[in-house]
Amino acid sequence: MSTNMQTNSALAEDPHLRRGPRGYPLLPGGYGRSTYYTGAPSPYAVRGQGCRVWDDRGRELIDANNNFTSLIHGNAHPEIAEAAVKALSSGASWGIPNLHEWELADLLLSRLPDLDQVRFANSGTEAVMSAVRIARASTGRDRVIVTKGGYHGTSDVALAPGGPANARGVPRGVIDDVTPVPLNDVEFLRRSVEAAPGAYAAIILDLLPNRAGLLHISEEFVTTARDLATRHGIVLIIDEVISLRLGAHGLSGEYGVSPDLLTTGKTIGGGFAVGAIAGLGELMSEVDPTRPGSLPHGGTFSGNPVSMAAGAVALRLYDESEVKRLNALGDAARESVAGRVADAGWEVRGRGSLLRAVPAGSAQVDASTQHRLWWESYNRGLLGSPANLLSLSTPMDQVVADEIADRLADAVLAVADAQN
């Protein structure tokens, strides 16, 4: 693996090596986000256009990372760029409301016909954090159920179920308030709720949890969660930060399940920082400032006109036919790769425009295998996430999807070869 990481002379000027007077790299570990980490010094993005990214090592890559699935229209989409520049040239953000918030709220809620209101945030992390607070305030309860191995951002509650390494720094009390339920274990879910029915404020579900291996949540698990929530006055939060892209009404629409609160982000910002909590009016009114005793909700940049204007164009362009087209491309790519890697002991998971290759049957893939596959993909001109989640974007067509499938299959076979 080390060959391609160290050979380029560009590394001589790698900002990883830039250190302050006391010897520390200016960015911890050399990274501005821990989630960039792929086991070795990373290439730097220099430019992106459509479904391609060019890096500082001179490599052209098919961008199937899409900034962790958020670039649904790829890089520098002309209409999104135009909307963002237009908004920015009238002022980056203001301390009074702007009309772009209403436009994006309208577009988002038109996709979520069972929900009434929306509040914007700056990230999925913030959206989930606020949704949990709304659930706790409205129920007067503290405890929260999440599925084991899932990821809901980096708030205390979201990190609590991740095991001792993930939850370092999270107060004991928060950890004690979170019940992790094994994925698709209907009985465990039922028992957890029924053992303490008045204790739970929320059940949080991601219907296709990437960190848990991009495994599907069963219909039975989802309907049980919905039913338990309704019967016991628990708020069902469906976290669609990634999965909203998978259906015209999000993945919850595909499942035919209505959350009480839905959190999202990524795709709805056109590539800019965004998060959103959409929900039933009776819950969302917890943050209605005209009501005495309402919950504080702010964020200096929440609802900023640039993210809102770019997001509105992104949602308009990602209409039902594009959702279907991208999902069909993804379905075909998954099938094509699966057929080529099965004998090597790998499988391809996902749904619609999301795919991920993993050793067959694995729940959590070890970091060194993930990193090895990332570099093997990179060496073949394919950029995925460090966990090898690949997402399609609308500039992609059949030719690009075939190219992704070819490169991914080759990369998987190289990893499997090296491991045997």
Ligand X SMILES: Cc1ncc(COP(=O)(O)O)c(C=O)c1O
- For position 157 contacting ligand X by CB under 6 A, the verdict is no
Question: Is residue 36 annotated as a catalytic residue, yes or no?
Answer: no
Considering the complex, what minimum distance in angstroms separates the CB of residue 18 from ligand X?
A: 26
Candidates 72, 75, 100, 151: give the one binding ligand X (CB under 6 A).
151
Are 383 and 363 spatial neighbours (Cβ–Cβ below 8 Å)?
no
350 binds ligand X, rule: CB under 6 A = no
Name the one range near ligand X by CB under 6 A: 8-16, 147-155, 287-295, 364-372: 147-155
Between 32 and 339, whose beta carbon lies closer to ligand X? 32
Q: Which of 55, 63, 151, 318 is catalytic?
A: 151
For residue 88, which phi and psi values (nearest 5 degrees)? -60, -35
The nearest distance, CB 242 to ligand X, in angstroms, is 4
Q: Please, is 256 exposed, middle or buried when counting C-beta atoms within 10 Å of its C-beta (0-12, 13-18, 19+)?
A: exposed
SS (H, E, C) 233-254: CCEEEEECCCHHHHCECHHHHH
Phi/psi at 274 (5° precision): -165, 155
Least CB distance to ligand X at residue 153 (A): 3
Catalytic residue (one of 63, 177, 206, 239): 239
Residue 209: CB minimum distance to ligand X, A: 7
For position 272 contacting ligand X by CB under 6 A, the verdict is no
239 has catalytic annotation: yes
Helices H, strands E: what count in the chain?
Answer: 16, 14
148 labelled catalytic: no
Name every residue whose Cβ is closer than 8 Å to that of residue 151 and which is 6 or more positions away in sequence.
158, 162, 206, 209, 210, 211, 212
**Whose Cβ is closer to ligand X: residue 66's or residue 210's?**
210
Q: Let me know: does 221 contact 184? Beta carbons within 8 Å.
A: yes
* C-alpha span between 417 and 344 (Å, rounded): 8
Q: Which of 253, 265, 270, 384 binds ligand X (CB under 6 A)?
A: 265
CA pair distance 34, 56, nearest whole angstrom? 20
Rg (CA), the chain: 21
State in angstroms the smallest separation of the CB of 158 from ligand X: 7
Instruction: Establish if 68 lies at the interface with ligand X (CB under 6 A).
Output: yes
Asked whether position 152 contacts ligand X by CB under 6 A, the answer is yes
Contact 144, 138 (CB under 8 A): no
Residue 124 contacts ligand X per CB under 6 A:
yes
Binding map of ligand X across residues 216-245, x = CB under 6 A, - = no contact: -----------------------x-xx---
What is the contact mask toward ligand X in residues 21 to 60, using x (rule: CB under 6 A)?
A: ----------------------------------------
What CA–CA distance (Å, rounded) separates 203 from 239?
10
| Residues designated as active site | 151, 239, 266
The residue ranges that bind ligand X (CB under 6 A) are 68, 123-125, 128, 151-153, 206, 210, 239, 241-242, 265, 275
